[in-house]
Copies of this chain bind each other. A is one copy, B any other.
């Protein structure tokens, strides 16, 4: 029986091996993913993002505990570190994260470090989330450091995105304003026992209010949590479910979102496929090999070279 069938039957080792193939950008992936593309779609995918040190891991941990206790649903966690593109290592070892759920076989936790080319991480995230989905996880929590450009590609995968901030995030909010509003469905002010927590909350509410006047659809809620004590986690989970219900009811919004996602994912895969094809042929075909050499030593400008390459392939 092949890996995909084993995975679909609930074999965790097969799941793990498939994830490794994705991480390594194996050429097998392009054969495997189409087989599972039509399956799944049942899982609720929740993205958790925010600056380093905002307490995302603790929040994810507490959410997992709550979901397991209250709903007995299967939970998968994917923790992504887009900031170490060359290290290949993930922020926190899986082992540290696993501890509190080590004995629960219905919780699966995986870290993913960035390696390979840009855009690779966003694609790998989508692929691993799809695996989790078809494997049968009900809730998939995707955690990523940062609120920058690369995270937006990653967060396309989420049905609901929670942006986690802390009372000291004033500068971040000022700086990232539009980016935050674009990405957030729910705002969290974590570590809300610290000074200025309610000030931060009001700053966010004001920002959300201005946005809301224009969009008048989902009023992004601003919640306060203290993840380390478990405070506010139930309210967060309720809001996550509420947003999922909102999306289901507003079918046009959901469908638009899905189409955008699919188009974005396709263009990512398209360019990666093309780039691979180019590099493969550049190893064999003298003309392309010379073209690449001319580019690398600066003899040919990249624009002219790119036009020539696109015409040749």
Contacts and interface: CB of A to CB of B under 8 A. Distances in A.
B146 A298 contact: no
A171 interface: yes
B296 A262 contact: yes
A286 interface: no
Contacts of A269: 302-303, 306
Contact of A114 (B37, B149, B309, B310): B149
A22 to B, nearest CB: 12
A303 B130 CA distance: 13
A203 interface: no
A237 B199 CA distance: 38
Interface string A40-59: 00000000000111000000
A182 interface: yes
A84 to B, nearest CB: 4
A207 to B, nearest CB: 13
A133 to B, nearest CB: 14
A219 interface: no
Contacts of A174: 52
A24 to B, nearest CB: 17
A292 B263 contact: yes
Given A53-B175, A277-B310, 9 more contacts: A52-B174, A53-B170, A85-B149, A118-B150, A263-B295, A265-B302, A269-B303, A269-B306, A274-B306
Interface of A: 29-30, 33-34, 37-38, 51-53, 81-87, 89, 91, 114, 117-119, 121-122, 145-153, 168, 170-172, 174-179, 182, 258-259, 262-263, 265-267, 269-275, 277-278, 292, 295-298, 301-307, 309-310
